[in-house]
Structures are given as C-alpha cells and as structure tokens.
Amino acid sequence: MPGRSLRNIALLAMCQALTQSGNTLMFASSALAVLTIVSPDTRMWANLPVTMQHLGVMLSVFPASMLMMRRGRRFGFRVGSTMGMTGSLLAAIGLGVGSFPLMCVGGLFLGNAIANMQLYRFAAVELAPPIFRAQAISYVTAGGVLAGIIGPAMARFTPDLWLPTFQASFVFVIALHAIVFVIHGFIDYPEVKAVDVEGPQRPLLEIITQPTYMVAASGGMIAFGVMSFVMAASPLAIVQCGLSRTEAPITIFVHVMGMFVPSFFTGHLINRFGIFNVMVAGSVLLVGGVAVALLGITEWHFRGALGLNGVGWNFMFVGATTLLTTTYRPAERGKAQAFNDFAVFGTTTLASIMASVVLELKGWAVLNYIALALVLVALAVIGVFRLRRPSRV
C-alpha cells in the first residue's frame, strides 16, 4: 500500500480505536451505572441507555452518510465527534443527578458518534487503491485492538475515581471524542466530486434487492445483532451468575480482542480463501461461542464464549462489508451504505433492548439459544446464495 494511503489508514484506524474505546467503555459501564440509580423492579431496563445508543445509530446513518456526500468525510466525522462529546456529557450529568431519562438521551446522542464511526470502514476504501480494498477495511477495523485495551482498562479503573460511581468513566469518553475531533484534521480525505454526488444512480430499491446486496446486508445484520445481543447481556449475566462485577471488564476485554485482533489478517484471508468462506467460518465460530456459553457459568466460560463471539463477528462483518462495496456505483454509495447500516443498527437496537429483558425473564441459556437460531439463519442465507452462484468469491 502506498505511503500516503498507509498514513491516512493508520490515522483513521486511530480514530476507530479511540471512538471504539469510548463505545466499549459505555457498553461495559452503562448498565451497571444504571443499577445504582434505579429501583430493583425496573432493573430489566438497565440496558435502555445502550439501546438508545443503538437507536441513535439507526436514526443517524442516513443523515450522516448524506451529509458526507455533500460536505465531505472530515466535516461529517467531526460532527459525529461533537455529538459524542455531547452525549457523554449528558450521561455524566444524568448519573450525577440520578436521572435515568437524561442518561437515555445521552445514549441517543452517542449513537450519532457511533453511526459516524461505522462509516470509517467505507472511508478506508476511498483512502486506498482498489486492490487494497479488503485490507484497508480490515486495518481500520483492527483499530479496535487498541480499543480492547483502553476501553476495558478504563471500565475497570475509572468507576471509583470519584462519586457518583461510574461518572468518571463517562467523563473519560468526552476526552476520547475530543481527541478524535483533532485527529480528523490530519487525514487527507478526498474532496467531494460532482460525479460522486450527481453521477448515474439507480433507485434505492433496485440496489438493495440485488441478491449480493441482500446477502451482504443480512450477514452484517446477523453478525452485529448476535454480537450485540450477547455482549449487552454479558455484564449483567456475570453479576447474575454470582461473579464479581470486576469480571465484566475482563470478559469485555477478551471479547473486544476477539473482535479486532483478527482484522490484521482478515483481509488477507478474504483475498486467499474468498469472501463467503470467511463469512461461513465466522458463522461457525459464533456457534462455537454459544456452545461454550451453554457449558457453564464460570469466568472462563464467559471469557471463552465472548472471545469466540468476537472472532466470529469479525469474519462475518469484514466479509459482509467487503461484499457490500461491490454492489453500488460511486454516486450511490451514500444511500447504499446508509441503508445497510440502518438495517444493521435497527437489528442491534432490538437486540440490545431484548438482551436485558430475555436475561431477566428467561436467563442466560435461553438468550444463547436465540443467538444460535440467528446464526443458523445466516448460514442458510450464505449457503443458498453459494449454491445458486457458485462462481462468486
């Protein structure tokens, strides 16, 4: 990869790392922070701020993508960082005054920041030559490795820095988004061209009903949906099963490492073995994660289950993203990418709110059986597509 492209990809990966660190910290801390201010009879809604974050992503992907089509990547990403700072501030204030609704509003603002972060992988494609498309997506996604270190570490050490418990964690997220805002000023994003905005376009319905697009979108939806469903419930499940709350950041660390360490070589695996083989391998790993979760409730069962879940997500999601980039023209990228992420994060919104409800009413085992059913759907979709189009990579 040329030097300038590599520099830009490295800076974008750093933005991914820092933004994902904040996201990981919120995942590990939000539900537990809510438990300190709500009554026992409403604890099943402890994941609502995280769910509002997913809802914020779902509502923001179209505006964020179309804004970048008109004003460029740098402007759009900086708007996202500003929204991230605002959301973290509202969450910190909400916790301080004991306002559960204000924490939920903070999650909604944070969703806009995460919606922008999800577009980093598409920006990576524009910063690298076409031959390096899969590697660029993979390397930017690999920025999550650093997130897997920073986020859980801060989730473990910041909650008790001052009272109320967990407020320091949210303040740390403000600082992360501020740093990301600055870094975007050093990335050489391509200028917006008229052909990228006004070039030939097909109707959105025609784009999204392409079989290849539908397979890519469904792969991303199930990968993110299953991952969010299991990860959102795991901190609460750990405490529910009698383990210490300090185990939650450790398990999340293992999970995030599983999500992002493979990104250093996922792009090469796709080039060597093909997109669909890597996606199938991801589905198998997700099934393995469910199997480990059902074998026991010790800390190592949680770590093993979430670790396999993370690797499976990586293979499925990087593969689905790479496949998606082959389905649209330059002028169509805004709406094609936005619709995909709208569908993906609509799924994660539902998965997040259902995670704590299913866990509270039915338990950890039933939650994992539901995850297994979703993964089997993904395998069926990929299998049918390959049988009908065996020549596809």
Using an 8 Å Cβ cutoff, are 227 and 290 in contact? no
Task: Give, to the nearest 10 degrees, the angle between helix 364-388 and helix 333-362.
Answer: 150
- Using 50, 70 and 90 to split pLDDT, how confident is the model at 32? confident
Query: What's the pLDDT score for residue 11?
Result: 92
- Using 50, 70 and 90 to split pLDDT, how confident is the model at 2? low
Mean of the per-residue pLDDT values of the chain: 85
Predicted confidence (pLDDT) at residue 231 exceeds the cutoff of 70: yes
Predicted confidence (pLDDT) at residue 152 exceeds the cutoff of 70: yes
Dihedral angle, C-alpha 142, 355, 82, 250, nearest 10 °: -50
Using an 8 Å Cβ cutoff, are 306 and 231 in contact? yes
Predicted confidence (pLDDT) at residue 285 exceeds the cutoff of 90: yes
Query: What's the pLDDT score for residue 33?
Result: 82
Which position has the higher pLDDT, 278 or 42?
278
54-58, 199-203, 299-303: which has the highest mean pLDDT? 299-303
Predicted confidence (pLDDT) at residue 220 exceeds the cutoff of 60: yes
Query: What's the pLDDT score for residue 193?
Result: 64
Query: What's the pLDDT score for residue 382?
Result: 86
Predicted confidence (pLDDT) at residue 43 exceeds the cutoff of 80: no
Question: Would you call the peptide bond into 164 cis, given omega within 30 degrees of 0 as the criterion?
Answer: yes
Predicted confidence (pLDDT) at residue 195 exceeds the cutoff of 60: no
Helices (DSSP H) in the chain: which residue ranges? 3-34, 48-71, 73-97, 100-118, 120-127, 133-141, 144-157, 167-183, 194-198, 204-208, 211-240, 247-260, 263-273, 275-295, 299-324, 333-362, 364-388
| CATH placement of domain 3-187+195-386 | 1.20.1250.20
- Using 50, 70 and 90 to split pLDDT, how confident is the model at 178? very high
Closest CA to 224 of 121, 129, 294, 302: 121
- Using 50, 70 and 90 to split pLDDT, how confident is the model at 309? very high
Query: What's the pLDDT score for residue 197?
Result: 56
Query: What's the pLDDT score for residue 109?
Result: 93
Percentage of the chain with pLDDT > 70?
95
Query: What's the pLDDT score for residue 41?
Result: 67
Predicted confidence (pLDDT) at residue 317 exceeds the cutoff of 60: yes
pLDDT digits (tens, 9 = 90+) for 331-354: 888 888 889 888 887 887 788 778
Query: What's the pLDDT score for residue 213?
Result: 93
pLDDT digits (tens, 9 = 90+) for 52-76: 887 888 888 888 888 888 888 999 9
pLDDT digits (tens, 9 = 90+) for 80-124: 999 999 999 998 999 888 888 898 899 899 999 988 988 898 888
Query: What's the pLDDT score for residue 334?
Result: 80
Percentage of the chain with pLDDT > 90?
30
Low-confidence winner among 82-86, 190-194, 243-247, 322-326 (lowest mean pLDDT):
190-194
Query: What's the pLDDT score for residue 174?
Result: 93
Where along the chain do its domains lie? 3-187+195-386
Query: What's the pLDDT score for residue 392?
Result: 52
Using an 8 Å Cβ cutoff, are 224 and 230 in contact? no
